[in-house]
């Protein structure tokens, strides 16, 4: 690290659990962020400000005025612009040293297979089960840790799915691909603005811990938030021996 970096990241370096070595690990890391919307905004900003050296942001959507109620990486001046590019500009305005690649396409299985393999951690900030299952399958195949979050209405959830751990479940252990779940979208159900900030910030925290080698992750635990009461509930998640995705890995 140079003098400017030592100053910029001094508050991390002062933490015994991170220090110079942990911060250097962040600088040498590559995070893949799926989605640059409500969850992806705080995720991308905190990863960028914390000094994750390379960030790949993928989102096929463009900024809409209805996004600005909660998607803090964007601005009114960028309405109509690709979300991934908008978030990249916001990160650059805070920390220009971070290399951010903006990908303006859908994260399909073919693209994910290559992109996930190149990342050190993957953060799923998408809003549909099809993408979540595709991201999970790619992470299991490449043995990459997945930090997954979701938020709708006043309810949020977060967990880490880390196939590197023999007893840790994957996303499909909890939500089997063959099951039918009702898709709920912000456009029809609404979402409490700070909720995505809470869940997204926690996703960033879990990713930074994984990259820096700090503490223990949420692998094997699902945390659910009822923001009406600001009450957390946690359940333990075992790996399913018959899971069609992670069994045998």
- Residue 237 contacts residue 220 (beta carbons within 8 Å): yes
Quote the Cα angle for 128-133-138, to 5°. Answer: 130
Pairing of strands 155-161, 221-226: antiparallel
- Residue 107 contacts residue 135 (beta carbons within 8 Å): yes
3-state secondary structure of 179: coil
Tokens of 46: 């905190």
Catalytic residue among 139, 170, 173, 186: 186
Report the sign of the C-alpha dihedral through residues 186, 189, 190, 194, in that order. Answer: negative
Quote the CA–CA distance of 229 and 232 in Å, as a whole number. Answer: 9
Active site residue 186: yes
Quote the CA–CA distance of 189 and 84 in Å, as a whole number. Answer: 24
Report the sign of the C-alpha dihedral through residues 114, 116, 119, 124, in that order. Answer: positive
Q: Which residues are catalytic?
A: 186
């Amino acid at each position: 690290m140079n003098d400017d970096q030592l100053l910029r990241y001094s508050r991390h370096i002062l933490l015994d659990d991170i220090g110079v070595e942990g911060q250097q690990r962040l600088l040498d890391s590559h995070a893949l962020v799926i989605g640059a919307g409500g969850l992806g905004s705080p995720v991308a900003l905190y990863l960028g400000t914390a000094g994750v050296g390379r960030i790949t942001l993928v989102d096929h959507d463009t900024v809409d005025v209805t996004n600005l109620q909660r998607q803090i990486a964007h601005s009114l001046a960028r309405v109509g612009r690709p979300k991934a590019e908008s978030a990249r500009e916001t990160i650059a305005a805070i920390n220009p040293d971070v290399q951010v690649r903006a990908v303006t396409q859908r994260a399909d299985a073919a693209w994910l297979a290559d992109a996930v393999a190149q990342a050190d951690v993957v953060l799923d900030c998408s809003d549909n089960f099809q993408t979540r299952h595709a991201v999970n399958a790619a992470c299991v195949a490449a043995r990459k840790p997945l930090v997954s979050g979701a938020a709708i209405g006043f309810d949020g959830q977060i967990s880490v799915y880390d196939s590197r751990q023999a007893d840790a479940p994957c996303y499909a252990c909890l939500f089997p691909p063959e099951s039918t779940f009702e898709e709920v979208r912000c456009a029809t159900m609404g979402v409490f603005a700070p909720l995505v900030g809470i869940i997204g910030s926690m996703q960033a925290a879990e990713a930074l811990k994984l990259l820096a080698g700090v503490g223990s992750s949420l692998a094997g635990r699902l945390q659910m938030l009822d923001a009406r009461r600001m009450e957390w509930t946690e359940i333990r998640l075992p790996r399913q021996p018959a899971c069609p995705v992670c069994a045998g890995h």
